Amino acid sequence: MPRWSVNAATRRFLCRVALLLSLPFAATAGTVVVAGIDGAISPPTAAYFLRALEQARQAQAELLVLRLNTPGGLDTSMREMIQAILASPVPVATWVSPSGARAASAGTYLLYASHIAAMAPGTNLGAATPVSIGMGGEQPDRKDDGKGRAPGGTTMEKKVTQDAAAYLRSLAQLRHRNVEWAEKAVREAASLSAEDALKLRAVDFVAADLADLLRQADGRSVGMERGERRLSLADATIVTVERNWQERLLEAVADPNIALILMMLGVYGLLFEFYNPGIGVAGIVGIISLLLAMYALAMLPINAVGALLLLTGIALMAAEAFFPSFGVLGIGGAVAFVVGALMLVDADVPGLQVSLAFVLPLAITSSLILAGIGSFALRARRRPVVSGAEAMVGGTAEALEDFEGKGWVLAFGERWQARSDSAMKRGERARIAAVDGLTLVVQPNGHGNFATPDNETCHARFPHLNPLPQAGEEANESLREFHVNRKGEGS
């Protein structure tokens, strides 16, 4: 069997081909996913961040960059985001940007939890003291005990502060950042500028723009759940995750001021629909607004007393239109509405507060609108009845035949069977005294009192009927004029 000889040049060529074929196809430029949060940390914000993190995982991105500018937010939403960061297979770099932005309160926790913490020049972080939960408002100042700690406070406040300090300290230890300052940020509400944060090792570096951030993060090793990972960000492809319409809508209604407007629109729509039944546009708008308001309030920590005061204020302002009290109910309702709105959100969380400058005009506008709706409703109730059986009482019927007891009459352009205590001749006119099903109870014009009988008279004469409401003074007056004209013609 012949043997093939391979010279050295051929062997080198084959080795190079094998080396090229063995290179992984993933050696191409990686992907960097960019998401942005500008505002309070809330459930819609957390949902948007989790979606961006999931998109980065599916794309096997090299890094997720979170642009952050927040005054703080809800503790539950913040912890949900931090748990996702700690369990993420994709490294997360939180970047406080642009210049002038801040990562206060909940933003500090997010910055410390991230694999890479960066800040733009002119930004700040800190003030991570947990705010009061309950009636809202600022806590009274307490004297320092000489160690930078306030000894006062309730047991609940101490528990919340201790829990927050331990949480941020654990994140600092996990990411090898300044533990001592992390505790000061919670206990003393300490804050740092970007340059000071870099000196104290609270952040990893200061980056002026995204390109600068990627350049400094390139080649850096970060600790992941499965061990160390070296970032390769050279020539990375940037993919920006924008909010979809659902997240934009939910983020808008999560603002308690917007939720308050939606609730008032819902109340106005339903009241207008009840007072003026029609094609239902006002009712549909009212129901949709109320549903959105309830969804928004369900995402926020609501104070039960504030909610009750708010509803009481709306009820009193509506009652002012139906039970005039010289403004007592209206003023009381406006005061209850303002106080309830200010107490509505059960947490003194920056970015999730009801503005007094917003509530006062809304209360005044609500009082005027509810008073207007109520006045229109009262005017409509005072008007004479123009349709149905009630409108026929007091009207005129003309006999179509001679009859005694029962016969046929013409009333309102229609043939009706009628019943009368007196005999009637063809063409004679009579007044409709009552309506018994499909039978008219008539009284000839020349008999008895021409004025419309009241309910007691009708019930006395026709005990088996349910007397209908009186036709009103306007109808009586027109009937009197008709009676006078008839007498004049007869003379």
With 60 as the cut, is the pLDDT of residue 277 above it?
yes
What is the band of 73 on the pLDDT scale with cuts at 50, 70, 90?
confident
Please give the mean pLDDT across all residues of the chain: 78
Determine the Cα–Cα distance for residues 89 and 56; give it in Å rounded to an integer.
9
Q: Identify the CA nearest to 42 among candidates 296, 237, 316, 389.
A: 296
pLDDT at 25: 36
What is the band of 170 on the pLDDT scale with cuts at 50, 70, 90?
very high
pLDDT at 387: 61
Lowest mean pLDDT among 88-102, 207-221, 333-347: 333-347
Q: What is the largest CA-CA distance in the chain?
A: 149
Q: How many C-beta atoms surround the C-beta of residue 353 within 10 A? A: 17
The most confident of the ranges 95-99, 255-259, 334-338, 431-435 is: 95-99
Structural domains in the chain plus CATH codes: 25-245 (3.90.226.10), 255-382 (no CATH), 389-490 (2.40.50.140)
Determine the Cα–Cα distance for residues 126 and 192; give it in Å rounded to an integer.
6
Determine the Cα–Cα distance for residues 380 and 184; give it in Å rounded to an integer.
66
H-run or E-run covering 103: strand 102-104
Q: What's the pLDDT tens digit per position in 457-475?
A: 444 444 444 444 444 444 4
Q: Identify the CA nearest to 95 among candidates 73, 110, 85.
A: 110
Determine the Cα–Cα distance for residues 450 and 398; give it in Å rounded to an integer.
16
Lowest mean pLDDT among 148-157, 223-232, 235-244, 246-255: 148-157
pTM for the full model?
0.63
With 90 as the cut, is the pLDDT of residue 225 above it?
no
Residue pair 34/241 in contact (Cβ under 8 Å)? The answer is yes
H-run or E-run covering 127: none
H-run or E-run covering 139: none
With 80 as the cut, is the pLDDT of residue 137 above it?
no
Which residue carries 């939960």 as its tokens? Answer: 133
With 90 as the cut, is the pLDDT of residue 56 above it?
yes
Q: What's the pLDDT tens digit per position in 185-211?
A: 999 989 999 999 999 999 999 999 999
Go through the chain and tell me how many residues it has.
491
Residue pair 55/92 in contact (Cβ under 8 Å)? The answer is no
Lowest mean pLDDT among 39-53, 64-78, 325-339, 412-426: 325-339
Q: What's the pLDDT tens digit per position in 28-48?
A: 458 999 999 998 898 889 999
What is the band of 453 on the pLDDT scale with cuts at 50, 70, 90?
very low
Q: Give backbone dihedrals phi and psi of 168, rounded to 5 degrees, phi first.
A: -70, -35
Determine the Cα–Cα distance for residues 381 and 390; give it in Å rounded to an integer.
14
Look up residue 95 and give its two tokens. Answer: 């970047």
Q: How many C-beta atoms surround the C-beta of residue 37 within 10 A? A: 25
